[in-house]
Structure 1
Amino acid sequence: MFLQIILNLGLVLVGVATVAYMLIHRQYTYWERKGIPFIRPESYLGTYADAVSKKKPLCDVVSELYVKFRGKKFGGVWELFSPRLFLVDPDMVKDIMIKNFDSWSNRGLTSNPEVDPLSQHIAMLDGKMWKVVRTKLTPTFTSARLKSMHYLVLECAKNLEKYLDAVVRKNEPIEAREVGAKYTTDVIGSCVFGIQMNSLNDEDAAFRKMGKRLGGGSGYWSRFVHLLQGSSPWLFHKLKLSLTPPDVEEFFLRITREAFEYREKNNVQRHDFVDLLRKLKNTDQKLGKDDVVFDDKLLAAQAFVFFGAGFETSATTIGYILHELAVHQDIQDRLRKELREMKAANNGEITFDGLQGMKYLDMVLQETLRKHPIVPQLERVSVRPYELPGTNVVLPVGSKCIIPIYALHHDPEFWPNPSKFDPERFSEEGKAKQTPYTFMPFSIGPRTCIGSRFAEQQTKVGILTMLDKFKIILCEKSQNPLKYRNGAGVFLMPERGFWIKMIPLGADDK
């Protein structure tokens, strides 16, 4: 009897293993059966194995795949067992991101709002829900609204200046991204939540703690959850997994609710993001049978993503800019000269209109985002059958594609000597020579980053505040050239941080 049970169990296990092998084999022959050029995975981790196992940075893996597919419009790769269409030709990028956006409108980021309410934010939403939320949030980032919030950014910049005055006196190396993160946390806190964060003066400031918690998701469990979300969304959904730590969820739900209650009770208006969310909450948003109810959880999720994405990406961009300015003193001097001219024309202030007129500052920012794109690749998911151009191959609904931003930004065919930091690429003459759809630091098309202009605003003000009083130089802890951190993280990060020194400007420099 016992032997029979063991035999039956063995047969079941063999059957399960056989079925699993057949399913995996079918997945790994997907592109071959479609007649699409592909790069066969060398392990069960898929084509991205070296990034998943943290042997290489994601940007290096993306670039290697891009080079292998050179001369083709697209190719087939895998994330774990899940096939992905890898775009190579800029015209294909245009076709999917713009021309046929209605067929590729989803990002396919599965969430479980019932256990993770903060995951129902604009970056994760798809379909009608995304369209409604995007439409309602767009007024936050008009020029008029950004201009009305500029005084809040300047208040945080003045606190940054005071903080740096004290730090620089110590004559010690400074980790630029950490300083940038304290500043951008304060800006986001003021403009999004209407709260004075005080991250620059208080190491234990609550929002800075939350920021570090969000940026610390590199443990094995966190990596597994994110990997499962991308490669096996059905299992991620079935297991009801959450992307947000419980304490982070409780914190953001609470502060958003408290911000609403305080402003309602005291009739406070600041013309910021919270005011817009309050308006949505107090307005009945009826849209036929597909109603979208802007309850506290949905609204808190939007505030949450602007905090998480806003402080992290801008702080990292500040780090990359300061590193490049420290390496290229001539560019730093030219930028400071432009700053002096702008302030002289605006009563010594960094005005909103003056900021918009700083063309060289914008060139420096865009070249930084070209050389160091914070997000090295994008993904899209099809919502309609899609016929690959030049073939009779039709990809079914639910197909996934990859847009290799980092590789396109570093293709010498489009960007000669791509490793060189050269802001002139974004002069009027330089932009006229650019190949369309080879530069997309904030994505392109209808799903371009909704907060990109605000991100640029706070980044530029932060950089100018530093340049106004300090010279940026490399130090003994600087890594030059920068090397990127291994792994498949969402953001492109340096291996050893952004270490610099700041020196007070002398009378001749001012």
Structure 2
Amino acid sequence: MLFDSILGNIVGVVVALVTITIAYFKWKYQFWKRHNVPYFEPTIPFGTSIPPFSKRKIGAGLLAKQQYEEMKARGWKHGGLFTWLTPTYFVTDLDYVRNILTKDFQHFVDRGMYVNEKDDPLSGHLFNIEGQKWRNMRMKLSPTFTSGKMKMMFNTLLECVPSFLVKIESDRVNKNPIDIKEVLGCLTTDIIGSCAFGLECNSFKEENAPFRENGRKFFDFTKSRIIKSMISSNFPAVGKFLGFGITPPDVTEFFMKVVEDTVKYRESNNIVRKDFMQLLIDIKNNKLVAEEGVKQDGTTLTMRELAAQSFVFFVAGFETSSTTMTFAMYELARQPEIQERLREEINTVLAKHGGKVTYDAIQEMKYMDTVINETLRMYPPVPVLFRKCVKDYKVPDQDVVIKKGVKILIPILGIHYDKDHYPNPEKFDPERFNDVNKSKRHNYAHLPFGEGPRNCIGMRFGLMQSKVGLTYLLKNYKFTVNKKTIQPLKLKVHAFIPAVEGDVWLDAEKV
């Protein structure tokens, strides 16, 4: 009898808790209705933004693209989503996108990313940090990405090319299909390692070179990492309490040691290089020179902060550029007429520069620009862009106020495939980006690097190394798609930066 009574009480408590939980979810899921924003009906407990891990069939970029298309079909300029209990403001109107990224940027300064510098020191980098800390860091790092600094680093970049060409030639001679993403990843790893750290990464000489291996590990999003990331991004206090970090511990250990050893060696031996690492060392020691145009406000960097900035430059620089070049080479291999036109431009421009690949030469390659821009349209390295509302914002021409703390999602992939902006969007057509066609489109219809004060700081560097890689490939070889490539391409579901199932394999023939 006593047991039955206890059991009955337990059941009653459980039923009450479940009822309260469901009621709380239903109340939270009325958020967008209360704020007069049209929204997709969420389901308990996952909301509308991200299906359960086991049910994911497509990546976050393609999911956002589908949601964008559905909102456009309903005539919505914006809409509401939920990621679990977290409301997300989803933007489809390009004027609204412009307002958020640029015109009314002061309301949307932060990205709303999870940062846990205690347990994951490499997470405290420029892409993630917020508020005044971000402003100070952005101001101090900007001088290293000017066109003048790019030109200065150009010869260092070119020193990484010979090993790259040896690998391509070896595969050609041995009639091996070329895993173009892997080869280009080795190239960009060596370039970033040299230009950022002043170190030789030896990605082509060592099968498991440490920089290359740790770069791969960072982008290998295992199931446990994704679950931790989902919990931390939606419940940051819980993530910090549990000590969740996004960077794998062995990757953190490797990069922290590399940075500490590099800084110690340079300072002990009075070595000064004109590279990214030197700028960070100067900030650490408050030694920025006046000609850089940087305000010396007395703030410095800790070793952890210095390592975090170096880390994001490395992982963002090698992966996004190698991905962009991979997709460009795939499309060029499929369309030999476009490949040949680009090759002709390369040869014509280089002939004007004595046959040498120079910084000025690649800046003259206008058709190259259109090819890369079209690649970035079809395969943006970051398919969705996030912001966070930092103070209440009245949406122009709407009876809507976006409340402080709400996350903002801008569906870059959806915008890039919108037929209103790009007719026949599945077709690879560089002519979309000639001067005439560009002038006909909204300025915010192409957002591979974001826009506004918080756009990609390394854009110039990424474009520079992508142009160099494509130039050397196409001036020496003709490429076709190898039968090992699975077509049509299928993107990996859980990749943070778009990656292809089965990889992209090409055949090379000497020009």
TM-score greater than 0.5 by the shorter chain: yes
> Partner letter of residue 204 of structure 2?
L
Aligned twin of 1:259 = 262
Aligned twin of 1:144 = 148
Per the normalisation by structure 2, the TM-score is: 0.94
Moved more, 44-53 or 361-370: 44-53
SS of alignment partner, residue 471 of structure 1 = strand
Aligned twin of 1:307 = 314
Q: Deviations over 1:120-151 (max 9, x none)?
A: 00011010111111111111101111111001
SS of alignment partner, residue 34 of structure 2 = helix
Q: Deviations over 1:290-328 (max 9, x none)?
A: 985401100000001111111111111111011011011
Distance, in Å, in 1 between the alignment partners of 2:359 and 2:480 is 28
Aligned twin of 1:503 = 509
Q: Quick check: 2:286–2:299 contact (8 Å CA) kept in 1?
A: no
Identity of aligned residues (%): 37
Distance, in Å, in 1 between the alignment partners of 2:396 and 2:114 is 28
SS of alignment partner, residue 313 of structure 2 = helix
> Partner letter of residue 497 of structure 2?
F
SS of alignment partner, residue 484 of structure 1 = coil
- Tell me whether 1:278 sits opposite 2:284 in the alignment: no
Q: Quick check: 2:283–2:300 contact (8 Å CA) kept in 1?
A: no
Q: Quick check: 1:326–1:472 contact (8 Å CA) kept in 2?
A: yes
Regions of 4+ moved over 6 Å: none
Aligned twin of 2:227 = 224
SS of alignment partner, residue 501 of structure 1 = strand
Which one of 189, 192, 209 corresponds to residue 188 of structure 1? 192
Q: Counterparts of 1:109-128 in structure 2 under 5 Å?
A: 109-128=113-132
Post-superposition offset of 1:33: 2.2
- Tell me whether 1:398 sits opposite 2:405 in the alignment: yes
Aligned twin of 2:430 = 423
Which one of 355, 372, 377 corresponds to residue 384 of structure 2? 377
Aligned twin of 1:57 = 59
CA separation of 1:291 and 1:237: change in aligned 2, threshold 3 A: farther
Q: Quick check: 2:171–2:177 contact (8 Å CA) kept in 1?
A: no
Q: Quick check: 1:129–1:292 contact (8 Å CA) kept in 2?
A: no
- Tell me whether 1:234 sits opposite 2:241 in the alignment: no
What runs of 5+ residues in structure 2 fail to find an aligned partner?
289-293
Aligned residue-pair number = 501
Q: Counterparts of 1:90-489 in structure 2 under 5 Å?
A: 90-217=94-221, 219-283=222-286, 292-487=299-494, 489=495
Post-superposition offset of 1:346: 1.4
Post-superposition offset of 1:13: 3.2
Moved more, 40-49 or 432-441: 40-49
Distance, in Å, in 2 between the alignment partners of 1:284 and 1:394 is 44
> Partner letter of residue 178 of structure 2?
I
SS of alignment partner, residue 88 of structure 2 = strand
Distance, in Å, in 1 between the alignment partners of 2:242 and 2:21 is 19
Q: Counterparts of 1:39-58 in structure 2 under 5 Å?
A: 39-42=40-43, 44-50=45-51, 52=53, 53-58=55-60
Moved more, 257-266 or 122-131: 257-266
Q: Deviations over 1:252-275 (max 9, x none)?
A: 111111111221223323311111
Post-superposition offset of 1:43: 5.4
Cα RMSD over matched residues? 2.0
Q: Deviations over 1:198-225 (max 9, x none)?
A: 10121121101101111212x2210101
Q: Quick check: 1:51–1:61 contact (8 Å CA) kept in 2?
A: no
Distance, in Å, in 2 between the alignment partners of 1:291 and 1:427 is 46
Q: Deviations over 1:412-454 (max 9, x none)?
A: 1111111111111111112111222111001111110000110
Distance, in Å, in 2 between the alignment partners of 1:4 and 1:283 is 71
Distance, in Å, in 1 between the alignment partners of 2:163 and 2:131 is 41
Post-superposition offset of 1:244: 1.3
SS of alignment partner, residue 69 of structure 1 = helix
Distance, in Å, in 2 between the alignment partners of 1:51 and 1:338 is 48
Aligned twin of 1:508 = none
Distance, in Å, in 2 between the alignment partners of 1:172 and 1:158 is 19
Post-superposition offset of 1:16: 3.1
Q: Quick check: 1:51–1:58 contact (8 Å CA) kept in 2?
A: no
What runs of 5+ residues in structure 1 fail to find an aligned partner?
506-510
> Partner letter of residue 397 of structure 2?
G
Distance, in Å, in 1 between the alignment partners of 2:5 and 2:126 is 55
Moved more, 472-481 or 367-376: 472-481
